[in-house]
């Protein structure tokens, strides 16, 4: 496996990981008002690909955030208990937006490296052309 092929496959694995992360973030945001919803967290892991001797990125098992659910006061809600509270979700929109922004930034950086690796290998191929 040539260095450029390695570089492209690493960048591709990272692009996939970042887009998976972005998908879970949008899942969290869309369920921000769902009662009893716990936000999902996506762990990244560096996995050594032995055939190419590179460390690719992969997404580990998705976990649920175990922090307490928000107590919302609304006595008219069907799920409300004796004190008039029901359990909302534990999604913090600020955290999710920041996470989405970080994922986007990393995605762009990886896209740039992918483009650069592609350019370098094509200019190498241009040597064969007269």
Partner 1 sequence: MFKELNVFKIAYSMATHAGKRQALVAQNIANADTPGYNAKDIKPFKEVYAQRARPGDMIASRANHLNGGSGADMNWAVTEQRGGSDPNDNSVSLEAEILKGVEVKRQHDRALAIYKSSMKVLRASLGKN
Stretch of 24-32, 52-60, 69-77, 83-91 lying at the interface with partner 1 (CB under 8 A): 52-60
Binding flag, residue 56, partner 1 (CB under 8 A): yes
Stretch of 4-12, 62-70, 76-84, 86-94 lying at the interface with partner 1 (CB under 8 A): 4-12
Taking the C-alpha atoms of residue 39 and residue 28, their distance in angstroms, rounded to an integer, is 6
Stretch of 62-70, 73-81, 86-94, 118-126 lying at the interface with partner 1 (CB under 8 A): 118-126
Tokens encoding 107: 């995605």
**Residue 56 backbone dihedrals phi, psi, to 5 degrees:** -90, 165
CA nearest neighbour of 109 among 37, 6, 17: 17
> What minimum distance in Å lies between the beta carbon of 2 and partner 1?
7
Asked if 29 contacts 92 with a C-beta cutoff of 8 angstroms, the reply is no
Please select the residue that binds partner 1; options are 36, 43, 75, 84, rule is CB under 8 A. Answer: 43
């Amino acid at each position: 496996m040539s260095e450029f092929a390695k570089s492209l496959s690493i960048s591709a694995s990272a692009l996939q990981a970042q887009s998976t992360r972005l998908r879970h973030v949008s899942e969290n945001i869309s369920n921000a008002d769902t009662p009893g919803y716990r936000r999902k967290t996506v762990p990244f892991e560096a996995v050594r690909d032995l055939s190419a001797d590179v460390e690719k990125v992969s997404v580990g098992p998705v976990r649920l955030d175990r922090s307490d659910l928000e107590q919302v006061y609304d006595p008219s809600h069907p799920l409300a208990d004796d004190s008039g509270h029901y359990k909302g979700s534990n999604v913090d929109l600020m955290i999710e937006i920041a996470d989405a922004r970080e994922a986007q930034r990393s995605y762009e950086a990886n896209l740039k490296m992918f483009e650069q690796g592609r350019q370098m290998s094509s200019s190498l191929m241009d040597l064969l052309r007269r």
